[in-house]
Each structure stands twice: as structure tokens, then as C-alpha cells.
Chain A
């Protein structure tokens, strides 16, 4: 049963991520990325990470993807997007990586159980049934300093986005950017 669930989620994740790359219209790419996010959240639920599944849906599907769609619709992209002619470089990068992954996975199969026992030994602790409570305790005790650094990263990103995307002062006499791009076309 659990293997069937995993096969469904994995198949949908792979199909949706291939569609993200393959579809020409950016709106369709973003929507298939939405499908992929939901299935990754489902995979998180089967891995006992319920809080992360909720965060995945809220942050990725609710915030990040809406931002993408917003920008796609602001920019009013024409559909002349063809594939880049870097197929050879992509093949050179990806085929050795894929072969390396296959070799590592097939070679590491027999040593996996012994190694995992060694790592699991003393520091193994059961994941608490209340996933949110356990994550909160870990986040605010062990990872308190990285948490503060993450807030700083978000602040810098917010300031940077505002500075990069705001118009210049002298540019403000034409109110709508759409009119400007239409005139250029």
C-alpha cells in the first residue's frame, strides 16, 4: 500500500517536473509546478513531516507561485520562446551525473544497512508524534542562530527587491508599464 502511494506521488512529481521544463507557455509551466508542489507535500506527509507539508503548500503554492504568475502576467510574455541550443552541454552535464548516481546507488546498496546502523546507534531519537511541537523545539533551541540569520536574509531580500523593482523618480509621468511596452512593440 505504501509503495503504491509512493509510486503515485513519485510518478506525478516526475511528470509534473518534466512538464515544467517542456511546456512553452510560462503560465502552464507555473501551473504544472503547482501540481508538483502539491505532490511533494503529499510525499512529506508519508514521510511523517506533516508540518512541512502544510508549510510547503502555504509558502510555495500560496506565495511563491502566485508571485511567479503575477510577474508572468505583468510582463505579458509572447509565446516565441524556443529551446536554447545548449543540448550538447546539457547532455555533457547530465548524462555523467546520472551514471554516477546509478553507480553510487548500486554500489552502496550492500553497505547501506551496516552504515545506517552505525549512524543510527547512539543518537537515534524517536520523532515525536506531535510534529509541529518537535520542530518548534528543535528550531528554537539548536537552530536558534540560523533562524535569526534566516530572518536577516529575508530582510535583505525584501530591501533588494524593492530597490531593484521600483521606478526612477523622473520616469513616473507614464503611469502604466503595459502602455509603454505596447508602444515599444
Chain B
């Protein structure tokens, strides 16, 4: 069954993914567009790397509501990190510092979250219970994230099927990591506490491409509300991946949807290759029961070594240890991901758990690159009684960290006999991923005793429905029926102007294609002329379109009229062009200039603006403002 060998990314087919039993689902984190944070009244969305003060904290595992410790929590505790928070008075109050209990939940955020839940066809829970989800990595100073499930059991259409939405939660965002070196991890707290929703799909995607496609669908859904944040870091995807015979692994914090396919592909490959590695070990007679590893202190033995990382370690008084993995020969060079080998799995654990963050942090006898000399390896081999079938791993650091590292090397190698450890993995920019932490489970949940449960009333749901957009796929369906150009359909379906389009087509009987092109393409055309499109007043779109529907604007004058109105910042019917003759124009300019000379001018810099106003007063609706602007050299707003 494990005969299948992974092909390059572009050559993998849907059938190939079926062969390996590929399954994938998404957990999408989306920041909500609110003025303030979720459980305090700090401003949301103000980012800065500057800081006024530092706080140092440590985290300890605590029991879950069911009376058990969570595995991840215990792992994080092993790392014994000093967590440093950078705080800035403008963005952080005593709540984020964990020195004040939470304030009541931000109702605006909860409304937006519920609205999105309704768009996903979810059942909204009757009473929201805020939970504490433990995070001992320090990414939240309390050691837990306040989070609550508010919607369950929804769906979003995809191809000819429905992708089920398992659950949605509203939660506070975490800190941004600045650095993580040795036993010190530094965080920025500006993002901390911003309202976020997490949407979890069932693992129903069949290829890495499908994962990205579903992510786009979900992205369109939230964007259609225009109540979510956009831009770098505002939406972050976690991708859950598994293959037949494996376990669920989570790739965390994918910053862009376009990265999803390659990351997912590499993770599927990693899992498949780890399963193949397990078969290889089995063939060599190595199982969980027969696995053997020994460790040795080789500090004195390697005192005179030349390999720089090791030499520096020895010179600075660090301890060097060797671990012999019995029967593992060549397996540390077993490929896991693109250009990535099993040794990376071990090195990652040593980096994260033993805090040996200077890379390389291990060397091994399967390595194809130059490390210590072969005669040094021979010395180690002899000293450790290793034989030809074994692999030797060397690690260095202070006494305590090396002890942890040796332990982790053995643990990770032994896990290879079981298959795929349940892990959270970090997305890397080259499309591969690295170990982040053990995958946490339900054992890290604890009810938030600081806040009462919150009842969601029918009145509240009804009120939310008044501003909720129509589901974008229903719009798409209608647009297709109307036969409007394909290239505007997608954009219009999530546009703020989708309702205006509906009004124009259904009530004012505007030709659908004209309306769609007007609403989507005209603003873009206007932007190309240099107009700052963000300044465009939505009302102008509506007024011009209505006037057009009333037959006051001829079709071929629609863009020009719109442009003029946009430039003037308002639409009146005089904007509709009655062409003025050249003489008329020249006359108007001349008379304005002569008037100007007679005036007492306070601010000569504004001469052109003033002139423009004076001229347009006479010519408005008869000539495009741009023509006048060009003539007198006025550029502001009408570049």
C-alpha cells in the first residue's frame, strides 16, 4: 500500500491524492472590523513596533475543566521560557497585561460574528459560554485565549457539493512574536485582544488546490459583509491535513491563500513519507517495542574537533552528547518534504523544546554535507560502541538543555516507529513546514469564570439580518441568469454595490450588463485616470445610475458624466453635459482671470483652485472639468 512515491507538485493528480487517502480541512481566522478590542476598550488595529515598557512572565500548566493536564501545555512547560511582552500605552491597558479582569464582550464584534455565522447557514447557539483555551507558549499573557463557540453546523457551496462548517468561534487575537532565541521569547502586544472569528470546515477537501479554492470561497463570504479587516495578517488560515493511516496535523498561520496548495502538498508528502519510513523501520525489525537508543557524553572525546559550531561550543564550555539510534543507518537522510529530510524533524524538536535555537543544532552520521571529519566520526563510533547499521546524532549546549535535547532526539526517533506525531506545524516561506508544538486537544479548555454566559435573543438575530448582505453565491446564480459579463460577476457578488445593482436592475429596469459594468468597471477606469478612488462618494454612483435609468443621460455619456460628478464630488443634473463651444470656454476663462486680478488674494497658492471654481460656475454641465483643469493647469483631484 505504501508503494506510491510522491511526484513533483505539478504532476500530482486527483487520483494520486485519492491513492494516499488525502483529507484536508480549514480553520480560518479572520479579524473583525471593530473600533475596539474584544474584552477591553483599547483601540483595535493600531500596529507599532515601538514600546514603552516590558513585562516578564512565566507560564505553568493548569488543569482543564475535566481535571486533566493538556499534553501541549506540559511540553511548553518543559521549555522553561522567559516570556517578555513589549507594551505601549496607546494600544495596551491593564487587561491585556492580565492585571485586570475582562470587561464585557464587545457587542459590535459579536454582531458581526453572528452575521457571518448566519451567512454560513449555521445554527447560532442560544447562550454563548466564554471559555479559556490554554496557550502556554506565552502568545497571550493570561496563558489562555478567551474564546466562545457561537455557531455550529453550517455550510458553504463548493463545486457541486456543500462543504460543512463544523463550528465558529469568536475569540481574542494573540500577540505578534518578535523573537524566540534560547530561553527568551519576545512578543508585541498591539494585536493582542483584537476580535477574531475562527471558522472550522470539515476535512472534505480532496486536493491541495481544493483547499485553496474553499479558502477563497470563505474569504469572499466574509468580505461581502464589509465588516472584516483586510490586508496583511487580517486573515490567517490553519490547514488540517491527514493521509490514510496517519493522524491530523495542523499547519498554522498560513498568511496567504496562494501558499496553501504547496504547503498542503508538502505536508501530505511528509506524512506519506513518514508512514513509508515506519514501514522501512518495520522491515528492519525496529518497532516501538524493539526501538533502542543510547546516549553518551562525548565532550572530552571531541575536544579538538575542527567543525566550527562544535568547536565554539566546546570552547565556551558546553557539553556535547552523542545519541546512537540503533539500526537507523541512512534514515536521518530519509526524505520527508521537498529538499527536507527526517533529520529536520529531530532538529526542530531540539530547537523548540530544548531551546537550542542556533542552527545547526545537531549533526549526524547520515549527513551528506561536511561536518566533523570521518576520523572524528570513527572515534565517536568506537567510543559509543555503535555499529555499521546505526546512526549517530551529536548535539551540544548547556548541561540542562543538552539533557532535554538528548531526550527529545530519542522521543522523536522512537515516534518514527509509530508513524506521524499529532503536531501543530509552522508554515515556512519555501512551502515546507516545521515543528511548532504538539497538537493540543480538548483538555486545554476551561470555562471562563470571569464572565457570565450571554444569551442570544431572537430580536438580536432579526436586527443583524437587516444589514446582512445576500449570500454571494445566490447573487452569482442570479447574475449568471442575467447574463452579465463573467469578469464582473465575482467582484460584484461581494461588492458594497451589489444591493444598488439589484435596485437598478429590478426597480429601475437598467440593463444588467450596463449596471454591472458601471458599478465595477467605471470606478476602475476612473482610478486609472489618477482619481483617488477611496474618495468616491457611494451616493454619486447611485445618483448617476438613477439619472441614467430615467433617460437623462445618454449611454455614451455615462462615463463622462460619472467622471465629472466624481471629480466635483457631487452629482447634480447640470453635470450632464451640454457641450460648450470653444469660444464660450475661452471667454469664461478670460473673464474669470480678469475677475481674479481684481480680487484681494490671501493665499496665492490656491489661485488655480479658485479659478477652477469660478470657471466651472459658468460652465458646469457643459464641459468636462478636466478640460478646464488642463487649460489652466489645475491638477488636484482631477489629475
Q: Do A and B bind each other?
A: no
Chain B interfacial positions (CB closer than 8 Å to A): none
